[in-house]
Copies of this chain bind each other. A is one copy, B any other.
Amino acid sequence: MAGRTVREEQVSATRELILTAAERLFAERGVLAVSNRQVSEAAGQGNNTAVGYHFGTKADLVRAIARKHQVRIEEIRARLLAETGDSTDVRDWVDCLVRPVPEHLAALGSPTWFARFCAQVMTDPVLQQIMVEESMTSPSLRKIVEGLNRCLPELPADVRAERGEMARHLIVHMAADRERALAENTPTPRASWHDAATGLGDAVVALWTAPVTPTGR
């Protein structure tokens, strides 16, 4: 697939070099704390404008990193989605929602940086929108939400939205926490990414199926 010609191979190789260097630096020091120059140097490019040449602005670089991973995550999600079929068990749909990211991180092998990168981008006031654009285009994600809604028909729309946000936050930030703990050799609550996803699934199922105490609205 990649690099039909020698030239294209080289180019995509340096692009990949820049992407991984940027991902690492961003995760460890913060997206805004790292300059494009530093990324170029860390990628072994003597040219200090290599990032600008290949990707444009820093926002474009962030988008490229996000997209690279989203492709793989989307594959996993589609596979899980196919496995659950038309289940009416909340747990099955929650697994579709929860497992792709941890499974992707497990597949990358240690160490990883994407979860921390992701958590940062998702909370930054200006970068946030990039991530939303990248992830909300997923067709399988839409189907999962629909499947979940079918399992929980009596849940008010507002609460549904609220709990969707909650689930998203938990998935992203718990993965980032675990990734950071692994990077720093700090103890983690779970032995593996798979177990971590199980714990996350327990929580998210409970969260979705929790009774709604009425408010004065």
Copy number of this protein in the oligomer? 2
Identify the closest chain B residue to A158 (Cβ).
B189
Does chain B have a CB within 8 A of A211?
yes
Does chain B have a CB within 8 A of A176?
yes
Identify the closest chain B residue to A169 (Cβ).
B173
With A169-B173, A202-B213, A213-B198 in contact, do A190 and B123 touch (Cβ < 8 Å)? no
Q: Which of A29, A123, A165, A206 has the most CB of B within 10 A?
A: A123
The dominant DSSP class at the A interface is: helix
Q: Verify A217–B203 contact, CB threshold 8 A.
A: no
Q: Verify B189–A215 contact, CB threshold 8 A.
A: no
Identify the closest chain B residue to A119 (Cβ).
B123
Provide the residues of chain B in CB contact with A176, threshold 8 Å.
123
Q: Verify B215–A195 contact, CB threshold 8 A.
A: yes
Q: Verify A166–B162 contact, CB threshold 8 A.
A: no
- Which residue from B125, B169, B203, B209 sits with its C-beta under 8 Å from A27? B125
With A165-B177, A207-B206 in contact, do A159 and B126 touch (Cβ < 8 Å)? no
Q: Which of A33, A122, A124 has the most CB of B within 10 A?
A: A124
- For the side of the interface on A, what is the size category? 35 or more
Identify the closest chain B residue to A180 (Cβ).
B125
Q: Verify A207–B217 contact, CB threshold 8 A.
A: no
A residues adjacent to B (C-beta < 8 A):
27-30, 32-33, 116, 119-120, 122-126, 158-159, 161-163, 165-166, 169-170, 173-174, 176-177, 180, 189-191, 194-195, 198-199, 201-203, 205-207, 209-213, 215-217
